[in-house]
Amino acid sequence: MNVDEFKRREVSRRQFLGRSAQQAAGVAVGVVGLTGVAAASAKSAGSANDRIGIGVIGVRNQGRLLSTEFARMSGVEVRTLCDVDEAQLAPAIREVVDAGQRPPESVRDFRQILDDPAIHAVVIATPDHWHATMAHLALQAGKDVYLESPPTHSLGEGAMLLSAASRSQRIVQVGLQQRSGAHFQSAVKYVQSGKLGNVRLAKAWIVHRRKSIGRRAVVEAPSQVDYAAWLGPAPARPFQPNRFHFNWRWFWDYGGGELSHWGVHMLDIARWGLQAEVPVRVSAVGGKYSFDDDQETPDSLAVQYDFGGKSILWEQRLWSAHGVEGRSSGVAFHGDQGTLVIDRGGWKVYDHAEVVTTDASDLLATHLANFVDCVRSRQTPNADLSSGLASAALCHWGNSAYREGRELRISQDGQAQA
């Protein structure tokens, strides 16, 4: 890409962001008291006799899966799919049709979904750096939101989202689907029952072999991709294939590495079981020990969260096949009268007078059903925004401690002390 072409696309990107900001301001005026289109949308979505219109933003991988799962649900219509990569739209539309629905509309600008009064809920399955901005705009537009995890890309975005959700009185379900799994719920209940004694420590981990992404040169962005829109709030830079589909999560501009990718799910369960909110200290060690490639985030990382009398330990190894407790990912709750180990395949109690095991339960379909139920009932969903932000904050603190090379001391209002 030559300099003139890059400058032209950067102007386009800034215009796009400017229009988004103007729209946010304009929409905000219209949602005071949920009047106008927002009020109509809320009324329709809350009626048990009406179909809930869904718009999905980002339909590659997880977004396509979510589109298909929602399309299988009764009383739900997947009306519109959106992606800045035009090549992703046709396969996603086909899967919605195969699930039994009529072909949804397709757009490349997510604001068209926010402008549609027939869409009551928005699914956001984009790269992490877009999550908070899109969710904020969707809430201002009066839409309920299913927001993939982590809900934020930085700590500062959390307060913005909470404020927007409070003002709009919209439903937000974070994509922490384990919260809706019956076996995760029963495990947490067992941990909190006292049967394990005093549970002071939880360990969470992900251990598997990822492939190196190698090194790639800057090239022209694919013609079917609106790269300016993909970058959005991220810093401007020429297109580099390794920073795009899927691999974006290994670069700090767009994601938080494995800690934000898998860690948010496992740490959420550890935090939930321990009933832990804000740590007092966070320390981290790690690095790129195995991969010699373009990735910025660590392939090895250990983080310790001290909650004062309780602690959570996180471990990731992306170059090994031998997991902790014989499981590639999971959480272990260590009490003075026994240990409970859980993953997506079930849970088991060790070193205890009674032998207790539980098999796996459905996660995603149940989680989406909980979201739809809450859109209708206006009840709090299983993975509400506050819970999702608290677990995402653990990822952000862990990454900050690693990148700054120092222990963080955290105040009870969530501020890291110098």
Is the previous residue joined to 151 through a cis bond, with omega within 30 degrees of 0? no
pLDDT of residue 380: 98
Residues 6+ apart with CB under 8 A from 18: none
- HSE value, Cβ hemisphere, 13 Å, CA-based, for 386: 7
**DSSP per residue over 32-76, as a string?**
TTT-HHHHHHHHHHT-TTSPEEEEEE--STHHHHHHHHHHTSTTE
What domains lie within the chain, and their CATH numbers? 3-178 (3.40.50.720), 179-362+384-417 (3.30.360.10)
Q: State pLDDT tens for residues 210-258.
A: 999 999 999 999 999 999 999 999 999 999 999 999 999 999 999 999 9
Cα–Cα distance, 408 to 411 (Å, whole number): 10
Contact 387, 375 (CB under 8 A): no
- Amino acid 192 reads Q
Q: What angle do CA 54, 129, 402 make, to 5 degrees?
A: 135
104/119 Cα distance (integer angstroms): 12
DSSP state of 309: S
**Whole-number Cα distances in Å, 10 to 35, 107, 223, 232, 238:** 36, 22, 16, 10, 9
What's the rounded Cα separation, in Å, for the pair 67 and 56? 7
Q: What is the mean pLDDT of each run of 10 residues along the chain (418 residues)?
A: 43 48 37 38 50 97 97 98 98 98 98 98 98 98 98 96 97 98 98 97 97 97 98 97 98 98 98 97 97 98 97 97 95 97 98 91 98 98 98 98 97 81
The pTM (predicted TM-score) of the whole model is 0.90
